[in-house]
Structure formats: C-alpha cells, structure tokens
Amino acid sequence: MAIPTIHGIGAYSSGTGPLTPALPTGVVAGMGLLLHVESNAGEAVASSGWTAVSGDSPVNNANGTRLSVFRRIAT
C-alpha cells in the first residue's frame, strides 16, 4: 500500500454563499482529494460534488468555529 502524498494545494477561497473550490494544478483522474472547510460553529456547510467524511467531522471548536472535511475522487 502506498503512503499518501501531498501533490498540491488549491487556492484559498472565502465567501458567504456557495463556493466552488479550486483544484490544485496537476490533479489527474483517480486521485483522492480532501477539502477542509472552516465556518462558524453550528453552521452547516455543503459543497457540490464533495462527500462529507464520516466519523469525527464536523467538529465544533471551543473558539466558535467549525471544521468540516469532505472527500472526492478526481475525474
């Protein structure tokens, strides 16, 4: 089994409505992608084409923020 490797990081995005996150350069079909989203605590976040990671996501932090993690396979 291959060890996961970071191949690139997409551009930072921010806003108050739906966002379409930019993919890093060099992404090829079949690559696994992760998206980390920080928002206000309790604020639901969704991103078209991305699936929420189950388990410990999202996490509401004591400082009033929420971290959500999403995944997808590049096509």
pLDDT for 73: 92
Residue 31: partners with Cβ closer than 8 Å, 6 or more residues away:
7, 73, 74
Q: pLDDT tens digits for 2-57?
A: 787 888 888 888 877 777 888 888 888 998 898 888 888 877 777 778 888 888 77
Q: Which residue has the tokens 């291959």?
A: 2
Matching residue, tokens 């108050």: 16
CB atoms within 10 A of CB 38: 13
pLDDT for res 65: 86
pLDDT attached to residue 26: 87
CB atoms under 10 Å from CB of 71, counted, come to 14
Whole-model pTM: value is 0.78
Number of neighbours of residue 11 by Cβ within 10 angstroms:
9
Query: What is the tens place of the pLDDT at every residue in 55-74?
Result: 877 788 878 888 888 999 98
